[in-house]
Amino acid sequence: MRRIGILTGGGDCPGLNCVIRAVVRKGLEEGFVTIGIKNGYRGLIENDTVILDLDSISGILPKGGTILGTSRTNPYKKEGDIKKVISNYKNLDLEALICVGGEDTLGVAARLMKEGLNIVGIPKTIDNDLSGTDYTFGFDTAVNIATECIDRLHTTAESHHRIIVVEVMGRHAGWIATVSGIAGGADVILIPEVPIDLEEVCQLIKKRHNRGKTFSIIVVAEGARFKEEQIITKEERLDEFGHVRLGGIGDILAEEVEKRTNFETRVVVLGHIQRGGTPTAFDRVLATRFGIKAVEMIREKKFGQMVSLKGDKLVDVPIEEAVERLKTIDIELYEIAKTFFG
């Protein structure tokens, strides 16, 4: 039987196992053996692989994370690693490699295609910030988790007459903050695309309290920044793709809001809670559709392409085009959110 490989790279998210399951099942139908590459590109460098059969994928549909493991390994970062990747790809006798990931993982995939590897991409990120597709799997689950948390925070905020700042994920794009904020009834939503005006935020909160409301919920994306200031980060250390570790915006925002309004303020950082646990039905179905489509693309030799959701249809788009720019928030959607501010 012919052999195809699959790896999952970058941050984990709910739905990855659904993709793996679909690739294995569809692969068997098409006459392929599926080789799982462990821990993203690191597994391709170290030749750390496993044959995926029906027993391997039994029961993984509702399971979060990825049974293959993941990493933020960049094979172009260390001299000699890319040669190992190419050599191991050939030694594994792969007809094609399915790379499941976001901008970084698929950015590497686009470069590997130019090295002569047959690559098919599948978009994955809870941030929903890949321009080549309407939706990435993982986003719907993250939004539902964030919305549930915001719902729960309403009751404790109201009981204690507090402002609660909820920090959600979103490095460069405010999709999670905006959608969960609208769904959860947030009183202010702050995103990377629109610099934070502290005076405006505090005026909105005061206006709300002047109407008799004794609590407020502020949702802020981790990558949001104040006017004339840099991104708020935990540290200056960079990962292998040159990204700083974000975080801290919620704490600073809460401190400033309390100081300027005299209202007791608390902060809740949702962090990796948004990545974990069981995928929603939407993400399970979307990830399954992506996996099936990827194997069909291999059968049709559509290499260098990424599976994409356009409307309710699956199409394929060049990986290079899919990662050339980030998909930031639809400003019309953000304007809808602003209707409910303050």
Q: Which residues are catalytic?
A: 127
Q: Are 12 and 65 in contact (CB under 8 A)?
A: yes
Owner of token pair 């993941």: 70
Q: Count the helix, strand and coil residues of the chain and give each as a percent rounded to the nearest 5.
A: 40, 25, 35
- Rounded to the nearest 10 degrees, how much is the dihedral formed by the CA atoms of 57, 61, 62, 68? 50
Runs of H (alpha helix) within 37-138 = 41-46, 81-91, 103-114
Pairing mode of beta strands 94-101, 188-190: unpaired
Q: How far is CA 63 from CA 57, 298, 311, in A?
A: 11, 26, 27
**What is the spatial distance between Cα 13 and Cα 129, in angstroms, rounded to a whole number?**
14
Report how far residue 248's alpha carbon sits from residue 90's, in angstroms, rounded to the nearest whole number: 44
- Residue 327 sits at φ, ψ, to 5 deg, of -95, 105
Strands (E), 19-162: 32-37, 49-52, 94-101, 119-123
**Residue 102 · residue 130 · CB < 8 Å:** yes
